[in-house]
Structure 1
Amino acid sequence: MTLYLLLTGLVAAERLAELVTARRHTAWSLARGGREYGRGHYPAMVALHTALLVGCAVEPWAAGRPFVPVVGWSALALAVAAQGLRWWCVAVLGPRWNTRVLVVPGLPLVGGGPYRLLRHPNYVAVVVEGVALPMVHCAWVTALGFTVLNLALLRVRVRCEDAALAQAGPVGADGVPAAGRGSSVPAAGAAP
């Protein structure tokens, strides 16, 4: 259990690093005429991601959840892979990445890295981590609760991002805003 609490603490520290990075990137975007969208859902996103970490720390202890090696090690591998995908998004988007929805007008598209393959790769990372991190120590209630609430939040978030991008530029033939796939919008769903 101690190692799992250490893991959860490391993820919390990673979240703080994301917030520091996002704050710096927000200043960069605003200095270039960036506009924020969806400010209303941001507090819910912060609360949900905080609740995930609290649930990961509390549920295994309170409910006596065991570490089941086949589940725990597999979940840990997925959680680490999700972190890798998340930071790949951050690296590819550079100062455009953010935990908020910010659009800087006139920037060229970013179509490299995971954005070549997925429309919202950072959300894939969030979904995988939301299941995997709690399951490292069989915190299935936390995994299920986060997943259900996160899917509802992602529905709002993706619509917000797509609308922001649509306002920033034309929609392509595939129905995706031409400014999409990693443009000046943040690495969608980055956990605060």
Structure 2
Amino acid sequence: MKHVLKNERGMALALAIVALVVVGALIAGAFFSGTQEQRVAENVRRVQASFGVAEQGVYDIIRVWPNSTQVYNVLYQYPAAPGAASQRAIPRNTAASKTGSYNGTLYKFNDQLYLIDMTAQDTMSLAGRIRGGGASQRVGLLARIRPLQINAQASLTAGGGLVAAGNASIDGNDHPPTGWVGCPPLDSAKAGIRIEDSATVSASG
């Protein structure tokens, strides 16, 4: 009977190398996954911070609107003819929270509708400390002005007697103010003077 001997020398070394390669690949995959998760979390944090700064910038414009009506009301409707301003640049400002800065543009669509276009970046992105350029968010807000409705039933309303003197002129017809543009259509004619039934109107001069 003939015995056949198999040469299995070196198999343990080969198996150990394969095991090391597999374990190394698993460890590398775990490190890669962890790094990606960390980067995603950091990016989300920067995006949220930039979005918050952009929102704050928009509402900063709304908050000071009553102090800037003479600036925004004189704008022409967008898009305006050459030489006429229909938009206003919003300079870069630092947020009150010190988490970033914002800048943008305000557009006037008509006398009641405006668009506030705001772009913001967080502090770390502005400083260039974030790999890939950092985060930036852009927010647009349509702002509508609600006109004050006044029930004007006459050109002049008085609670008692009325005396018109000098060169006073009372007219119940609707007229656009001199130099104003973009006014709505003329309203219907109203009474010239409205007073109590028992009151009197007199003129002198």
- Which structure has the greater CA radius of gyration? 2
Q: Please state which structure has a larger fraction of its residues in strand.
A: 2
- TM-score tier by shorter-chain length is under 0.3
Relative contact order (alpha carbons < 8 A, sep ≥ 6): 1 or 2 greater? 1
Q: Please state which structure has a larger fraction of its residues in helix.
A: 1
Question: TM-score scaled by structure 1?
Answer: 0.26
